[in-house]
């Protein structure tokens, strides 16, 4: 893989030539300038133009549309937000119910736009299988999650338990303790969505400047090496790249996620594994694991990630032998039939994590800065909601989008929770991840005695709770 095609399997699969759009070589005025042509920036432009076609909107992108996480992700289009239970849980029942409905409707909204705008991204709404697969503790934890969902008023239509036999009808994992199934998820070809969206907004009259990195920004203005755009509203939509925009980097921290794809697998292998209607699946370790069957019958499997001291970006995503091996070992444990299968693609990307581990959406009315981000690896669907919400905030609307607990309304950018300074972040990250890795190793060993299992799980659980509290290092 080479150049922009080499960014991911998905970018390589595109039929188009990936010729960059012209760069910014002049000074311009616009109503709204958006930094970054990923889903967040493009959805914002889309919903703004839909409702206010007269707006002059410009997008400046450092590489090409889809270069970031939007052209690289695992293709889970979720009707959820990271941390939604913590945000919606405390609300009165009716409001909580409405919040969940808004989230669960995200995949259908994306499907609606794709249909209306003729974006073919192989979107299939097959739901998601959260599998209890490698050790029995996963079943207990998933059943606890199901009980918590029921307490929040979510019913059988939202989450239901599948016995090992019922799971096998959809997905055949080696060791199965059952699964939690939710219909509110689709899978898609991510790059086709982001590239398609770019074309759509361009047709609507949005100017996209590519290979135009913003080197300086402030309220009312962004500057690239060869031009400047003055605008009423500035929308930074860089997610995992927040470290390049000072002020934003205090609130959105870069982490990395790594992913591999097998060669296309023959029909008899898929007959054994399943996943025949676009389901997403994960294995319920405390560390991230996710997968889907691609349109051309590959297993696309992402697992684990990384954090670099100071939140530095990773730019070289040529995975090491060890990084590929780890992912192949993990999916082979689930699907032993794939033990010797060839990996043809391996890549990764930077994503943004917010301090409270849930996304934020806001419009700072004084500085006229609006943004959505901090999706923490669950941004394919969330960025659609983010774009819709940011558009509503810029247009001064007061509606169900703007009245959600993840919306900071008219608060200042500086009011978003901040990350602790280094080396606290790095030490904290490593302590937490090591406790998760240790737990996974102990629990996956069927001979580990009960007391060791309990201790490992207790420690990792404690670290997870600590991570999500307000000020863990204060």
Ligand X SMILES: Cc1cc2nc3c(=O)[nH]c(=O)nc-3n(C[C@H](O)[C@H](O)[C@H](O)COP(=O)(O)OP(=O)(O)OC[C@H]3O[C@@H](n4cnc5c(N)ncnc54)[C@H](O)[C@@H]3O)c2cc1C
Contacts with ligand X by CB under 6 A lie at 35-41, 60-63, 67-70, 72-76, 78, 213-214, 237-241, 244, 257, 259, 290, 302, 348-349, 351, 373, 375, 377-381, 383
> What one-character DSSP code corresponds to residue 248?
G
Please check whether residue 439 is in contact with residue 460, taking contact to mean a CB–CB distance below 8 angstroms: yes
The string of DSSP codes covering 361-388 is EEEETTTTEEEEE-BTT-HHHHHHHHHH
Q: Which is nearer to ligand X, 308 or 438 (CB)?
A: 308
Cβ-based neighbours of 302, under 8 Å, separated by 6 or more: 74, 257, 258, 259, 260, 288, 289, 290, 291, 327
Please check whether residue 425 is in contact with residue 115, taking contact to mean a CB–CB distance below 8 angstroms: no
* Smallest gap from residue 61 Cβ to ligand X (A): 5
Name the residue with tokens 């007959």: 271
* Smallest gap from residue 73 Cβ to ligand X (A): 3
* Smallest gap from residue 439 Cβ to ligand X (A): 23
* Smallest gap from residue 317 Cβ to ligand X (A): 8
> What one-character DSSP code corresponds to residue 116?
H
Q: Which is nearer to ligand X, 63 or 367 (CB)?
A: 63
* Smallest gap from residue 388 Cβ to ligand X (A): 14
Q: Which is nearer to ligand X, 24 or 142 (CB)?
A: 24
Q: Which is nearer to ligand X, 237 or 363 (CB)?
A: 237
Q: Which is nearer to ligand X, 42 or 154 (CB)?
A: 42
Of residues 51, 63, 57, the one with CA closest to residue 23: 63
Q: Which is nearer to ligand X, 280 or 432 (CB)?
A: 280
Kindly give the pairing relationship between strand 280-283 and strand 289-293.
antiparallel
Please check whether residue 255 is in contact with residue 307, taking contact to mean a CB–CB distance below 8 angstroms: yes
Of residues 257, 335, 256, the one with CA closest to residue 289: 257
**How far is Cα of residue 197 from the mean position of the Cα atoms in its chain?**
17
* Smallest gap from residue 449 Cβ to ligand X (A): 36
Please check whether residue 256 is in contact with residue 307, taking contact to mean a CB–CB distance below 8 angstroms: yes
Q: Which is nearer to ligand X, 40 or 402 (CB)?
A: 40
Q: Which is nearer to ligand X, 213 or 466 (CB)?
A: 213
Q: Which is nearer to ligand X, 244 or 392 (CB)?
A: 244
Both tokens of 426, joined, read 């790095």
* Smallest gap from residue 60 Cβ to ligand X (A): 5
Rounded Cα distance between 217 and 229, Å, is: 10
Kindly give the pairing relationship between strand 207-209 and strand 57-60.
parallel
* Smallest gap from residue 469 Cβ to ligand X (A): 23
Q: Which is nearer to ligand X, 245 or 265 (CB)?
A: 245
* Smallest gap from residue 249 Cβ to ligand X (A): 11
Cβ-based neighbours of 151, under 8 Å, separated by 6 or more: none
Residue whose beta carbon is closest to ligand X: 379
* Smallest gap from residue 76 Cβ to ligand X (A): 3
Q: Cα dist. 344→171, 264, 266, 302 in Å? A: 23, 9, 15, 14
CA-angle at 61, arms to 57 and 64, nearest 5°: 120
Please check whether residue 59 is in contact with residue 36, taking contact to mean a CB–CB distance below 8 angstroms: yes
């Amino acid at each position: 893989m080479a150049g922009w095609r080499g960014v991911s399997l998905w970018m390589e699969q595109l039929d188009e030539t990936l010729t960059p759009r012209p760069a910014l070589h002049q000074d311009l005025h616009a109503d709204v300038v958006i930094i970054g042509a990923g889903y967040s920036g493009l959805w914002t432009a889309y919903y703004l133009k839909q409702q206010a076609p007269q707006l002059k909107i410009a997008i400046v992108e450092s590489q090409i549309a889809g270069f970031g996480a939007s052209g690289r992700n695992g293709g889970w289009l979720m009707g959820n937000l990271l941390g939604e239970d913590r945000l919606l849980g405390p609300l009165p029942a009716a409001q909580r119910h409405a919040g969940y409905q808004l989230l669960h409707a995200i995949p259908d909204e994306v499907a609606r736009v794709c249909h209306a705008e003729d974006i073919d991204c192989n979107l299939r709404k097959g739901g998601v299988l959260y599998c209890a697969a490698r050790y029995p503790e996963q079943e207990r934890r998933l059943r606890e999650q199901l009980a918590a969902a029921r307490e929040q008023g979510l019913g059988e239509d939202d989450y239901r338990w599948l016995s090992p036999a019922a799971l096998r009808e959809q997905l055949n994992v080696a060791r199965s303790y059952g699964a939690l199934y939710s219909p509110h998820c689709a899978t898609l070809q991510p790059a086709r969505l982001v590239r398609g969206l770019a074309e759509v907004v361009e047709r609507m009259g949005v100017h996209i400047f590519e290979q135009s990195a913003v080197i300086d920004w402030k309220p009312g203005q962004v500057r690239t090496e060869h031009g400047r755009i003055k605008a009423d509203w500035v929308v930074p939509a860089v997610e995992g790249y927040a470290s390049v925009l000072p002020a934003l980097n205090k609130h959105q921290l870069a982490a990395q996620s790594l992913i591999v794809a097998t060669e296309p697998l023959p029909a008899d292998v898929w007959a054994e594994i399943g996943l025949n209607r676009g389901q997403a699946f994960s294995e319920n370790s405390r560390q991230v694991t996710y997968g889907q069957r691609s349109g051309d019958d590959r297993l696309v499997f992402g697992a684990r990630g990384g954090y670099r001291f100071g939140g530095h970006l990773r730019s070289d995503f040529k995975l090491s032998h060890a990084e590929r091996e780890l992912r192949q070992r993990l999916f082979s444990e689930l699907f032993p039939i794939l033990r010797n299968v060839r990996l043809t693609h391996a890549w990764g990307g930077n994503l943004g994590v917010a301090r409270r581990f849930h996304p934020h959406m806001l419009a700072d009315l004084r500085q006229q800065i609006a943004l959505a981000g901090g999706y923490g690896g669950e941004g394919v669907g969330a960025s659609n909601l983010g774009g819709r919400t940011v558009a509503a905030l810029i247009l001064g609307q007061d509606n169900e989008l703007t009245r959600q607990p993840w919306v900071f309304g008219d608060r200042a950018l500086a009011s978003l929770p901040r990350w602790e300074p280094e080396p606290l972040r790095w030490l904290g990250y490593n302590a937490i991840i090591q406790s998760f890795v240790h737990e996974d190793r102990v629990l996956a060993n069927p001979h580990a005695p009960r007391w060791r299992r309990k201790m490992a799980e207790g420690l990792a659980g404690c670290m997870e709770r600590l991570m999500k509290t307000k000020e863990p290092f204060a």
